[in-house]
Chains A and B, each alone.
Chain A
């Protein structure tokens, strides 16, 4: 419990730091982001004059000094007022509600698949060192990892999508499909998600594989493995119940860094596939200088990474009794 509390305190501080970075960035930049925004989106702001105070707190203006703007800004965030997306003309929270589910779907499925595939292959690679998995699949997965997400996506779109026509190449569902909880819609959405998820698995499974392999190589040398083998247990049982089970914890902590990099990869993948998630939205918002949306999305992504870390801490505390007592 103390472990979780300590982590919670840290995540609190980290979230506050992310808030502060968000608050400070537009004020540190040369020029005045607010003036540019007012000029660019005159019509939107004239139509909704009530968004001006929030904008000023977010981006900084001359008539509100920092010591007043800072509490104002933090207060706004905690009451759920992230401002108004100037490019889309709707509240930022609406944009997030529409886009976040798509991204969670991609990353969630991608994570589960890559973790399962990576650790399984890593287990085989460490168990039979110098075997097929170790000599062929390990370098192959490592090589896949060095393809940047956007390049791999482009290759996949071109060769698997356009040339072979196996997968739809853009958007989350077809234009003619109505959004709703129908089998037709779900099937269509699933088909559109296949290729992006395949890319996520391709670029991240290598990390799990290597992590698992490197830890398990050390586990295999432990005495209790020799003992299990001396007892005459079946090879497969020793591998899964004795070696892999003890080796799986350290790679699991890599989840935090996996998630942080997955967020980056997600942006690139969503942009290539025009997939309507958070990643595509943050790119469009940043290119269109829609600052309120950009700021809110950075905060949201940081919060997601923090939550993912917190969940992993809890899982770890449950799985490893040493952490709980320490």
Chain B
């Protein structure tokens, strides 16, 4: 597991930010490029992340296959209003006669799409800023670092609320953009820290000497060596995005006519279904959001364990025994 020695996910927030990591060139041992499939295979072997990936894949599949799993239209109130879950209505129906089951299945599409797009925007910013800052150093690094630190201390949800207050309409696309533009700071900081430890490696210096341009070195040399950390970043930002999207819609800042997990919850509280005892109206969409976040949290948990084997909850003795057994069965992989 030497490959993971540098992907320290459990970043300790140092108050004296910008402390130069020990860029000891030779001492760290040979670092070989890690292609993503290897990383993915390790993730699937870890029970926690394998569970997380399976659950998340299931949620995505169910959302995509929504038309196959339900016959109703989520925007047409076809059923008897206020019905408790039953065989015909697995998740019950709302006060207006919407089928909650249909709404939750279709709602996942919009929620996942908005959160996914926001994550792409946010990670694109984080990768660019973090890597350019770490590679360039000097005043560019200072500026990016200052900007990152400022965005870290401005609370995200209130900022989003204020932006939505000024916007005349916040459709799904707008929402993805504003979430993406406000949630890149933490990952920028983490990626910058990790890129700094790679900055003085031989392959980067060689590329520099060979006269490669900065974008080429950053995206062609640095980035491929950080893929595992970047993958973890995607998972981390996605959790934020799915939470922020649902929160904004729940608070009434989304397009309430579109069906997503957040807007179902918005209607559930707006129609005071709570007081009438219609628990199914908010429990199922809320559970969908929580399950999605839980799945990703498990993936992150697995990544943490892979990068720092000490964190594994197995007792060291048991682990040693297992490793010995693995060494006998698969001599090659255990040597890694």
Note whether A and B form a binding pair. Answer: yes
Q: Are A297 and B158 in contact (CB under 8 A)?
A: yes
Given contacts A135-B313, A143-B294, A151-B289, contact A282 B158 (CB under 8 A): yes
Which chain B residues in 187-241 approach chain A with CB under 8 Å? Answer: 239
Instruction: Give chain B residues whose Cβ lies under 8 Å from the Cβ of A185.
Output: none
Distance in angstroms from B146 CB to nearest chain A CB is: 7
B29 at interface, CB cutoff 8 A: no
Given contacts A14-B150, A30-B168, A289-B165, contact A283 B252 (CB under 8 A): yes
Q: Are A260 and B156 in contact (CB under 8 A)?
A: yes
A264 at interface, CB cutoff 8 A: yes
Distance in angstroms from B155 CB to nearest chain A CB is: 4
Q: Mark A14-56, 1 if CB is under 8 A from B, else 0.
A: 1001100110011001110100000000000000000000000
Distance in angstroms from B16 CB to nearest chain A CB is: 6
Instruction: Give chain B residues whose Cβ lies under 8 Å from the Cβ of A272.
Output: 269
A121 at interface, CB cutoff 8 A: no
Q: Are A267 and B166 in contact (CB under 8 A)?
A: no
Distance in angstroms from A77 CB to nearest chain B CB is: 15
Q: Looking at the complex, which one of B162, B243, B253, B286 makes contact with A298 (CB distance below 8 Å)?
A: B162
A92 at interface, CB cutoff 8 A: no
Q: Are B286 and A291 in contact (CB under 8 A)?
A: no
Q: Are A154 and B274 in contact (CB under 8 A)?
A: yes
Distance in angstroms from A123 CB to nearest chain B CB is: 15
Instruction: Give chain B residues whose Cβ lies under 8 Å from the Cβ of A10.
Output: 146, 149
Q: Mark B1-26, 1 if CB is under 8 A from A, else 0.
A: 00000000010111110000000000
Instruction: Give chain A residues whose Cβ lies under 8 Å from the Cβ of B283.
Output: 155
Q: Are A13 and B150 in contact (CB under 8 A)?
A: yes
B163 at interface, CB cutoff 8 A: yes
Distance in angstroms from A287 CB to nearest chain B CB is: 6
Q: Are A263 and B155 in contact (CB under 8 A)?
A: yes
Q: Among A64-72, A176-184, A193-201, A213-221, which stretch is in contact with chain B? A: A213-221
Q: Are B275 and A162 in contact (CB under 8 A)?
A: yes
Distance in angstroms from B11 CB to nearest chain A CB is: 10
A268 at interface, CB cutoff 8 A: yes
Instruction: Give chain A residues whose Cβ lies under 8 Å from the Cβ of B62.
Output: none
B324 at interface, CB cutoff 8 A: no
Q: Are A29 and B166 in contact (CB under 8 A)?
A: yes
Q: Looking at the complex, which one of B154, B247, B310 makes contact with A148 (CB distance below 8 Å)?
A: B247
Q: Mark B131-155, 1 if CB is under 8 A from A, else 0.
A: 0000000000000001001101111
B250 at interface, CB cutoff 8 A: yes
Q: Mark A207-237, 1 if CB is under 8 A from B, else 0.
A: 0000001110110010000000000000000
Q: Are A253 and B13 in contact (CB under 8 A)?
A: yes
A271 at interface, CB cutoff 8 A: yes
A158 at interface, CB cutoff 8 A: yes
A to B contact number (C-beta, < 8 Å): 176
B76 at interface, CB cutoff 8 A: no
Q: Are A214 and B246 in contact (CB under 8 A)?
A: no
A167 at interface, CB cutoff 8 A: no
Q: Are B315 and A130 in contact (CB under 8 A)?
A: yes
Nearest A-chain residue to B169, judged by Cβ: A30
Which chain A residues in 298-326 approach chain B with CB under 8 Å? Answer: 298, 301-302, 305-306, 309, 312-313, 316, 323, 326
Which chain B residues in 30-78 approach chain A with CB under 8 Å? Answer: none
Q: Are A267 and B161 in contact (CB under 8 A)?
A: yes
**Most chain B CB atoms below 10 A, which of A129, A295, A297, A312:** A129
The docked-state distance in angstroms from the alpha carbon of A17 to that of B153 is 11
Instruction: Give chain B residues whose Cβ lies under 8 Å from the Cβ of A271.
Output: 251
B314 at interface, CB cutoff 8 A: yes
Nearest A-chain residue to B278, judged by Cβ: A158
A294 at interface, CB cutoff 8 A: yes
Distance in angstroms from A184 CB to nearest chain B CB is: 27
Given contacts A25-B163, A267-B251, contact A154 B12 (CB under 8 A): no
A250 at interface, CB cutoff 8 A: yes
Nearest A-chain residue to B268, judged by Cβ: A154
Q: Are B155 and A268 in contact (CB under 8 A)?
A: no
Q: Are A130 and B13 in contact (CB under 8 A)?
A: no
The docked-state distance in angstroms from the alpha carbon of A253 to that of B19 is 15
Q: Mark A246-275, 1 if CB is under 8 A from B, else 0.
A: 000010011011001101100110011000
A138 at interface, CB cutoff 8 A: yes
New contact pairs (11) apart from A146-B290, A158-B282, CB-CB < 8 Å = A14-B154, A30-B168, A148-B293, A151-B289, A214-B304, A256-B152, A261-B156, A264-B157, A287-B251, A289-B165, A291-B166
What are 30 A-B pairs at a CB distance below 8 A?
A: A14-B149, A18-B150, A22-B162, A25-B163, A26-B166, A29-B167, A30-B167, A129-B313, A145-B297, A147-B286, A148-B286, A157-B274, A162-B277, A218-B310, A253-B13, A253-B14, A256-B13, A256-B153, A257-B152, A260-B153, A263-B157, A267-B158, A268-B251, A287-B165, A287-B252, A294-B162, A295-B162, A301-B158, A306-B153, A312-B15
Closest 9 CB pairs of A and B: A264-B157, A151-B286, A286-B165, A146-B293, A146-B294, A263-B155, A130-B315, A29-B166, A253-B13
